[in-house]
């Protein structure tokens, strides 16, 4: 029997057939005309590889460490809410797959299983992502994540801003009159452990149902650092200016990201921002990238530009929709195989030793 799906694009195609139309749209949507969404993936096709031939490729090293934790190759699961849109076990399936494939997993505040339930499920390194909501909630979440053994706090700074979420949803969601299904509640905000008084069904615990009470400023990084001994990674930066600020305020890592183009349209595609961020950081913290990675060659290009690792978001929803935990594992394995082949063809023997000489491109 013919094998299908065999690559991430085919995973998307099949997931689209399986998922209800409004759920597919919710996951896939970018903002506005989806210019950034399309550019996030297309830009990889404008970067070409300049291989080194006749080098000894008998030993290829794909494993590396990310903030001190081992990974089988430099791919992480992007933190994202609502994996239960696609699979009843949601984030639990995702992290089981991450464990079996030995990669690090991001877990979002908006996950449909609690910080503690997810941590109890695995000993794979987990990174906990938060959006600023209120200082009280931020502190509660950071403390719970640290206590549960998470390795890193990811502070997403390109997410909701005060008052935005209800102002104008993404256009696909307006068209579909999209309402979050009940199994995608933000359970981390419910119950005695959260201490907020919210119950199942409250609007505040629905995805997007609680907005930040004020703005997050660079000085607040000092406050976040005072809450925890864990490393802090700032997610959602696109410029040299902000990268320098992140270093100045002591970030341990930066995720170059436009949030999968879900925040505002025509933001720079993340790959286009990567060179200036890497240059600005000048080795003072680790740099990661997400947005539009769909092929092993995409990972190779991001690493060559100076990313220590990449994250992916939507392809794991597709994996979950197609095959639950096994679908997520397959997505990871496909990318790993593709990266290995690309490395061998380009004469690259170590993921930690790739430089921009590999690349031919023409954007700035």
Q: Which contacts of 338-341 are long-range, i.e. CB under 8 A and separated by 24 or more positions?
A: 338/7, 338/295, 338/296, 338/297, 338/299, 339/62, 339/73, 339/296, 339/297, 339/299, 339/300, 340/60, 340/62, 340/296, 341/296
Of 1 and 177, which has the nearer Cβ to ligand FMN? 177
Residue nearest to ligand FMN (CB): 313
For residue 176, state whether it binds ligand FMN (rule: CB under 6 A): no
Of 22 and 57, which has the nearer Cβ to ligand FMN? 22
For residue 81, state whether it binds ligand FMN (rule: CB under 6 A): yes
| Of 342, 331, 338, 336, nearest in space to 8 by CA | 331
Of 110 and 176, which has the nearer Cβ to ligand FMN? 110
Which of the residues 12 through 31 are near ligand FMN (CB under 6 A)? 27
Tokens of 65: 């460490």
Q: How far is the CB of 25 from ligand FMN (least distance, A)?
A: 11
Which span sits near ligand FMN by CB under 6 A: 57-65, 134-142, 284-292, 356-364?
284-292
Of 33 and 282, which has the nearer Cβ to ligand FMN? 33
Number of residues that bind ligand FMN (CB under 6 A): 23
Cβ neighbors of 26 (< 8 A, separation 6 or more) are: 85, 170, 172, 173, 176, 178
Q: Tell me how far apart the alpha carbons of residues 103 and 125 are, in angstroms, rounded to a whole number.
A: 8
**Which member of 235, 295, 301, 329 binds ligand FMN (CB under 6 A)?**
235
Active site residue 259: yes
**Which member of 94, 180, 257, 273 binds ligand FMN (CB under 6 A)?**
257
- Give contact residues for ligand FMN (rule: CB under 6 A): 27, 40, 78-81, 108, 110, 129, 156, 159, 235, 257, 259-260, 262, 290-293, 312-314
């Amino acid at each position: 029997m013919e094998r299908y799906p065999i690559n991430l694009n085919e995973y998307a195609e099949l997931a689209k057939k399986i998922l209800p139309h409004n759920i597919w749209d919710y996951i896939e949507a970018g903002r506005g005309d989806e210019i950034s969404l399309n550019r996030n993936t297309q830009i990889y096709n404008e970067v070409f590889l300049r291989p080194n031939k006749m080098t000894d490729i008998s030993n290829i090293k794909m494993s590396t460490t990310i903030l001190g934790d081992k990974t089988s190759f430099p791919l992480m699961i992007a933190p994202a809410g609502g994996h239960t849109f696609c699979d009843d076990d949601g984030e639990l399936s995702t992290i089981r797959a991450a464990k079996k494939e030995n990669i690090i997993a991001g877990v979002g505040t908006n996950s449909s299983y609690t910080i503690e339930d997810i941590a109890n499920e695995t000993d794979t390194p987990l990174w906990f992502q938060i959006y600023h909501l209120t200082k009280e909630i931020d502190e509660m979440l950071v403390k719970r994540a640290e206590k549960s053994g998470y390795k890193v706090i990811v502070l997403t700074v390109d997410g909701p801003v005060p008052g935005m979420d209800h102002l104008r949803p993404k256009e696909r969601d307006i068209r579909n009159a999209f309402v979050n299904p009940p199994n995608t509640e933000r359970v981390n905000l419910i119950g005695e452990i959260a201490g907020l008084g919210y119950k199942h069904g409250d609007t505040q615990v629905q995805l997007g149902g609680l907005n930040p009470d004020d703005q997050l400023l660079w000085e607040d990084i000092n406050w976040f650092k005072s809450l925890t001994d864990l490393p802090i990674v700032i997610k959602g930066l696109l410029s040299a200016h902000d990268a320098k600020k992140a270093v100045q305020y002591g970030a341990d890592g930066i995720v170059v990201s436009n949030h999968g183009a879900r925040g505002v349209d025509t933001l720079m595609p993340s790959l286009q921002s990567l060179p200036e961020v890497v240059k600005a950081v000048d080795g003072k913290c680790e740099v990661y990238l997400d947005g539009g990675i769909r092929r092993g060659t995409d990972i190779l290009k991001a690493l060559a530009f100076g990313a220590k690792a990449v994250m992916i978001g939507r392809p794991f929803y597709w994996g979950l929709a197609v095959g639950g935990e096994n679908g997520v594992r397959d997505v990871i394995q496909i990318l790993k195989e593709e990266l290995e082949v690309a490395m061998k063809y380009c004469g690259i023997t170590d993921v930690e030793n790739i430089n921009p000489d590999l690349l031919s491109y023409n954007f700035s």
